[in-house]
Amino acid sequence: MGRKQLRILVTGGAGFIGSNFVFHMLKKHPDYHIICLDALTYAGNLSTLKDVMDNPQFKFIRRDIRDRNAIDAVFTEYHPDIVVNFAAESHVDRSIENPGIFLETNIIGTSVLMDASKKYGVSRFHQVSTDEVYGDLPLDRPDLLFKETTPLHTSSPYSASKASADLLVQAYHRTYGLPVTISRCSNNYGPYQFPEKLIPLMIINALNDKKLPVYGKGINVRDWLYVEDHCKAIDLILHKGKDGEIYNIGGHNEMRNIDIVKLILKKLNKPESLIEFVADRKGHDQRYAIDPEKIHTELDWLPETMFADGIEKTIDWYLSNEDWWQETTRTNYIFI
């Protein structure tokens, strides 16, 4: 794609990764127009976007991607060149309690966006997916990694809904010729993450001298990716990625949950006695680990942020932005 003034529709742009992507794109491509769409459910926070609301290249619209008429009106008015779909229900525990909303948003909502993209002839529909569509890996096989060719093998209603959306995106590409790309990332962390997720929850609870709930024995392993590195990868895929392809985005930072919790406590000078082991999550995946060789080889992307640096920056951000997370935790929020 050339260096024209692209119009990019970012759905879920008031959420954690979506907002960081908005910031990245406005900084990296100041001539682009960013149309940010978000339903502002529990995980969306308009205050996150306060620093860019007055930017003439940025427009915020409150809409639900399941609302076909509303989405059609947005496309009619703004004619986006590219759609980047971050909008999703993403909390596994909530999907176990109420699977229906995950199916509606993550599957039906994606189809609504693709129908509009097809109708208005977008040049690229990018689906932001997750490594959880691959299921999990055994703890005793560190040699095994998720590749783009790894079969889908979901564990939760959340991951099943995301895998379904991925299959639908591929079907629209093959059946209708919709130009698409899909990215599957490992666990993100960094500024503006909703406080139900592991790292911000542990930071906030530790700051408040509350118990830090850890599932099972805390030996589950995740590959951690700093959110800014993820945004750079998606930017690359939009500009240089091959139509119809899937790209795994991993951080080369595998860590056990318990070790992350202890690291956070150490950095905040809090005692490990705050750790409280709780009953394990139903169907809890043991290990996620992504092989990002394809995106490195084809697009020359590698994660730039080592976990030791990224967690330091993340903790500092939460220490400096108490107003943001205090406001967020007053909304519909569950401490698990």
Residue-wise burial string across 140-164, b where 16 or more C-beta atoms lie within 10 A, e elsewhere: eeeeebbebebeeebbbbbbbbbbb
Residue 326 makes CB contacts below 8 A (sequence gap 6+) with none
Closest CA to 286 of 215, 217, 220, 222: 220
Considering 64, 89, 132, 196, which one is annotated as catalytic? 132
Closest CA to 225 of 151, 158, 290: 290
Residue 27 CA to residue 198 CA, distance in Å, equals: 28
Beta strands 254-256 and 124-130 are unpaired
Closest CA to 151 of 167, 140, 138: 167
Beta strands 246-249 and 33-38 are unpaired
Q: In a 3-state reduction of DSSP, which class is residue 107? A: helix
Q: Has 276 been annotated as catalytic?
A: no
Considering 32, 134, 158, 247, which one is annotated as catalytic? 158
Considering 64, 81, 131, 196, which one is annotated as catalytic? 131
E-strand stretches of 165-324: 180-185, 187-189, 212-215, 221-226, 246-249, 254-256, 275-278
Structure-token pair, residue 66: 């399941």
Q: Has 78 been annotated as catalytic?
A: no
Structure-token pair, residue 58: 């940025």
Beta strands 254-256 and 221-226 are antiparallel
Q: Has 131 been annotated as catalytic?
A: yes
**Look-up: residue for tokens 């150490």?**
266
Active site residues: 131-132, 158
